[in-house]
Amino acid sequence: MDIARTPSTPEGNPEMADAAQEPRQPAAIRREDYRPTAWLVPEVSLEFDLALQATRVTSTLTVARNAAADASPTIRLNGEGLEPMAVKVDGAMIDSWVMDDADLIVTLPGDAHSIEITTSINPAANTALMGLFASNGMLCTQCEAEGFRRITFFPDRPDVLSTYRVRMHGPKTDFPVLLSNGNLEEQGDDGDGTHWAQWHDPWPKPSYLFALVAGDLIANSDSFTTMSGREVALNIWVREGDESRTGHAMESLKKSMRWDEEVFGREYDLDLFNIVAVSDFNMGAMENKGLNVFNTKYVLADENTATDGDFDGVEGVIAHEYFHNWSGNRVTCRDWFQLSLKEGFTVLRDQLFSQDMGSAPVKRIEDVRVLRGAQFPEDSGPLAHPIRPDSFREISNFYTATIYNKGAEVIRMIRTMAGEEAFRAGSDLYFQRHDGQAVTCEDFVKAMEDGAGLDLSQFRLWYSQAGTPKVTVRLEHSGDTATLHLSQDVPATPGQPDKHPMPIPLKVTLFDPETGNRAAGHDGEQLVTLTKAQASLSFPGHVRRPVLSINRGFSAPIVIERDIAQEELVFLAAHDDDPFARYEALQDLVVRHLKDAADDRLDDGARKHGRAAIIEAIRSVMADDTLDDLMRGELFILPSETYLAEAMPVADPGRIHAERQALRAAIGAFLEDDFVALHTRASDVPYSLEAAARGARKVKTQALVYLAAGNPERAAGMAAAQYDAADNMTDRQGALMVLCGLSAVERTNKLIDFYNRYQGNPLVIDKWFALQASSMHPSALEHVKALADHPDFTMKNPNRVRSLYMAMAYNPHAFHAEDGEGYRMIGDVILALDPINPQTASRFVPPLGRWRRIEAGRSQLMREQLERIGKAPGLSRDTHEQVSRSLG
């Protein structure tokens, strides 16, 4: 989140310097320095007089000394950009308060007091979109991680749990809907054109979960009956005209509520659950207690404007934020070092939910692809950190794939080792033991240990060590015995040069290469846990050398290096009965070939032989009637250029791109008629959200991708025809995506049609920008430059900025242009965006931070951009930290 820290005491919390001033870069905050807060705040009363440019906030804090902390005569109330207009203690005005940088320090003589503070803020001027900000005439809050201090002075830390009563006043014409956390207690008119509403949240929560929304909104309303028979009112609030696109979100919410009851035993605990969709939002969504605030991207969806992936995204994010009601709200973090306590656990819960709602194998592959595309590079670069960091300077920079995605994988490993039933017992104990508390990752692990009956002593290393373990695998066969040799290495990362072996659960199976079945005498799938640096396991009863399938289901978030023949990979790609392992075999087959090709290790004969093996594997996928099209589509997808670069000690992005495209062209040309037939067959399936129809759309677009590489002219005609015939966004966007990479007249025609068709729909126009910025077109960078001058582009809306520039930054073909133009463009974006929205700006730094893994010429150009950014005056703390860490 968009917050910076400058500690002055172990308990103290810091402030952010104004972006226009030279920031005083903060010292590191260390986990070991944590101290309980000296003062508790059991109750908070907030009164808001709302206006876009001058909102008056009066906060009344009931405070009491914390018997579990060292006594202090003063209370530190964090602020950022605030000036106290009045301060009262126990009803009497005082002037003895002092300011320590941005924080308010008040001296308190007794053990319990009431503190009243009045401030005034300007939401319309808040371009950082943290605290209370304006979005198209609506007022909205975002308080995680430390945004509450931009609203009022408060001990803004997650271990201060309070009940909140909120009263809002405002002009009825400007803000006809007034929302906050909890349940609505009262509302009424003031008689002068203003009205008011009072909300009460009975559940103690940290300040980062506070929320307020005021604006002209309309609700899609429904209800849900909990497992104990209580009826909960459900509302999804949107701008008028958008309500017709909220049906999928509402169904996703109700499915989430039922699933959490059935799978985790968690029941909702308020009478009301509100969701608000906001068009200006830094993140995807926020789990504020009883009032979730969402980016519109994850609420609005119908078949004409949303792809199948968008529907999945809405369902998954709705579930994620709802599941936080227990894993994050009822049980929250003691401090921000424990962020993965709530995020990693909740990501796992939303992944399991999505698996149950759709195709479990496909969902698993998608999640692993995200992990490898975002977290593996993070783990091997200058920004590597454990899922429970030991220190940080800017908490906003630790909302990372490591905290979220690797955190989920670590807890999934506990589930794998325990089994589903024992894992449920552990989670039940965790919620029971810590309900209403602010706790640590260690508390979670201990509950899992006690509830599931596991010894997780060594497993705790997964929380403290950064880096992706590499497991080297070798299968030896002698006589009738197969011996599996395993070794692990956890690479050095910044601040952690030496690592200890970690427990790595590996699901393994042995196959008979002649029958294609599991080898005779082998007891099906086995779970093997590697706990040492090296280990060997024997499997007797194998007359023939078996074929090893390992890390099935991606049972551990590791890199596998296996000594396996090409023909065995082809075998596994065709015969493995674990969907992920089959996918992995095909990926490995391609990665091995492209690494050798990009490193000039293939002569013409070896190149031809490698391509033939891959084509044969693709052909087997195409012809396998046991596969559904959703899985078939996954198996068609080649490893990304980013993943290929990660597999190489030093990567040449230009060579990787050229070789990958050449392989795709060879596949497309050789199997051209097969792909045309597949496209024709899939085109006959009518639209629905059922798996068969979704799968048909998936393979249809994948067929076009290969045809575009193998026969661009034919593909352009087919893609244009698919675009014209489309009765849904998935088909239309898929066709336009293919056309964007081609130099064909159809490309221009359909881009113009798409814009004209959806002009005025921001989410779909975001797609229009992103498709061009992420395309394989040779002039992609020039297209991005032109789009930056488009009337619909703005640097003030995070969705629009990400749709253009983040799409380009993660398009290796454009970003790694040999002359460095892609790097210069992102450097310019960071410098232009940083004064407006530091949080969004800082997220553009990591692509440049990969410079050490790139060949020398490009590496130097990337480093030069980081140095240029680092020297800029007035750089925000968010961006400064990312740049300085990236430079090392």
| pLDDT (0 to 100) of residue 299 | 98
Is 222-310+320-325 a CATH 3.40.50.620 domain? no
Q: What is the pLDDT of residues 55-88, one digit of tens each?
A: 999 999 999 999 999 999 999 999 999 999 999 9
Q: What is the pLDDT of residues 816-838, one digit of tens each?
A: 999 999 999 999 999 999 999 99
How many helices (H) and strands (E) in the chain?
31, 31
Alpha carbon distances (Å) from 180 to 245, 497, 625, 771: 23, 47, 53, 37
CB 387 within 8 A of CB 410: yes
The count of residues in the chain is 888
- Kindly state the average pLDDT of the residues 537-562: 96
- Kindly state the average pLDDT of the residues 97-109: 97
DSSP reduced 3-state for 107:
strand
Global confidence as pTM = 0.96
Work out whether strand 162-171 and strand 194-205 pair parallel, antiparallel, or are unpaired. antiparallel
Rounded to whole angstroms, how far apart are CA atoms 15 and 12? 10
Instruction: Give me the architecture of the 332-464 domain, per CATH.
Output: Orthogonal Bundle (1.10)
Longest dimension (CA), the chain: 93
| Amino acid found at 366 | E
Alpha carbon distances (Å) from 302 to 247, 306, 363: 8, 5, 21
C-alpha dihedral over 697, 699, 700, 706, to 10 degrees? Answer: 150
CB 737 within 8 A of CB 775: yes
Tell me phi and psi for residue 730, to 5 degrees: -60, -50
The 8 Å CB, 24+ separation contacts for 619-627 are: 619/671, 619/674, 620/573, 620/574, 621/573, 621/574, 621/586, 622/671, 622/674, 622/678, 624/574
Task: Judge whether residue 425 has pLDDT over 90.
Answer: yes
Work out the pLDDT band at 800, boundaries 50, 70, 90.
Answer: very high
Angle between helices 729-740 and 712-725 (to 10 degrees): 150
Rounded to whole angstroms, how far apart are CA atoms 210 and 888? 37
CA 152 and chain centroid, separation: 29
Q: Give the active site residues.
A: 321
Angle between helices 712-725 and 745-758 (to 10 degrees): 20
Q: What is the pLDDT of residues 612-658, one digit of tens each?
A: 999 999 999 999 999 999 999 999 999 999 999 999 999 999 999 99
Give the angle subtended at the CA of 242 by the CAs of 240 and 245, to the nearest 5°: 150
Task: Judge whether residue 22 has pLDDT over 70.
Answer: no
Rounded to whole angstroms, how far apart are CA atoms 503 and 456? 9
Q: What is the pLDDT of residues 215-241, one digit of tens each?
A: 999 999 999 999 999 999 999 999 999
C-alpha dihedral over 814, 816, 820, 825, to 10 degrees? Answer: 50
Rounded to whole angstroms, how far apart are CA atoms 74 and 523? 66
Omega before residue 145 within 30° of 0, cis? yes
Rounded to whole angstroms, how far apart are CA atoms 719 and 703? 10
Task: Judge whether residue 123 has pLDDT over 60.
Answer: yes
Half-sphere exposure (CA, 13 Å, Cβ side) for 394? 28
Rounded to whole angstroms, how far apart are CA atoms 595 and 89? 68
| pLDDT (0 to 100) of residue 808 | 98
Mean pLDDT score of the chain: 95
Work out the pLDDT band at 27, boundaries 50, 70, 90.
Answer: confident
| pLDDT (0 to 100) of residue 4 | 25
DSSP reduced 3-state for 441:
helix
| pLDDT (0 to 100) of residue 524 | 83
Work out the pLDDT band at 521, boundaries 50, 70, 90.
Answer: low
Q: Name 604's Cβ contacts closer than 8 Å, sequence gap at least 6.
A: none
| pLDDT (0 to 100) of residue 522 | 61
Instruction: Give me the architecture of the 761-888 domain, per CATH.
Output: Alpha Horseshoe (1.25)
Rounded to whole angstroms, how far apart are CA atoms 200 and 182? 5
Q: State both tokens at 716.
A: 């352009």
Residue that has been written with the tokens 């759309």 in this structure: 697
**332-464 and 471-556 in the same fold:** no
| pLDDT (0 to 100) of residue 273 | 98
| pLDDT (0 to 100) of residue 25 | 63
Q: Where are the alpha helices (DSSP H) in 165-214?
A: none
| pLDDT (0 to 100) of residue 13 | 34
- Kindly state the average pLDDT of the residues 244-254: 98
Q: State both tokens at 532.
A: 């040492």
Please tell me the class of the 471-556 domain: mainly beta
Alpha carbon distances (Å) from 577 to 302, 361, 518, 552: 35, 11, 9, 10
| pLDDT (0 to 100) of residue 257 | 99
Q: Domain ranges for the chain, please list them.
A: 1-216, 222-310+320-325, 332-464, 471-556, 761-888
| pLDDT (0 to 100) of residue 176 | 98
C-alpha dihedral over 667, 668, 674, 675, to 10 degrees? Answer: 130
Neighbours of 119 (CB within 10 A): 22
**Full 3-state SS string of 274-312:** EEEEECCCCCCEECCCCEEEEEHHHCCCCCCCCCHHHHH
- Which residues in 24-35 are b (16+ Cβ under 10 Å) and which e? eebeebebeebe
CB 636 within 8 A of CB 671: no
Rounded to whole angstroms, how far apart are CA atoms 887 and 863? 7
Work out the pLDDT band at 5, boundaries 50, 70, 90.
Answer: very low
Work out the pLDDT band at 11, boundaries 50, 70, 90.
Answer: very low
Work out the pLDDT band at 520, boundaries 50, 70, 90.
Answer: low
Write out the DSSP string of 484-526. Answer: EEEEEE---BTTB-------EEEEEEEE-TTTSSBPTT--SSE
Task: Judge whether residue 1 has pLDDT over 80.
Answer: no
Rounded to whole angstroms, how far apart are CA atoms 246 and 188? 28
Q: State both tokens at 163.
A: 């009940």
What superfamily does domain 1-216 belong to in CATH? tricorn interacting facor f3 domain (2.60.40.1730)
| pLDDT (0 to 100) of residue 9 | 28
Q: Name 688's Cβ contacts closer than 8 Å, sequence gap at least 6.
A: none
Work out the pLDDT band at 519, boundaries 50, 70, 90.
Answer: confident
| pLDDT (0 to 100) of residue 20 | 36
CB 196 within 8 A of CB 169: yes
CA distance between the termini of the chain: 22
Residue that has been written with the tokens 């960071």 in this structure: 830
Residue that has been written with the tokens 């994050």 in this structure: 328
Alpha carbon distances (Å) from 415 to 43, 102, 260, 355, 883: 38, 44, 17, 15, 37
The answer for 141, left when phi > 0, alpha when psi is -120 to 50, beta otherwise, is: beta
Q: State both tokens at 263.
A: 């799978």
Write out the DSSP string of 664-719. Answer: HHHHHHHTHHHHHHHHHHHHTSPP-SSHHHHHHHHHHHHHHHHHHHH-HHHHHHHH
Rounded to whole angstroms, how far apart are CA atoms 103 and 604? 68
Alpha carbon distances (Å) from 608 to 123, 370, 612: 62, 31, 6
Work out whether strand 74-77 and strand 103-107 pair parallel, antiparallel, or are unpaired. antiparallel
| pLDDT (0 to 100) of residue 516 | 83
Q: State both tokens at 812.
A: 């290796």
Question: What order do you get walking across the sheet with 559-562 strand by strand?
Answer: 534-540, 481-489, 470-478, 559-562
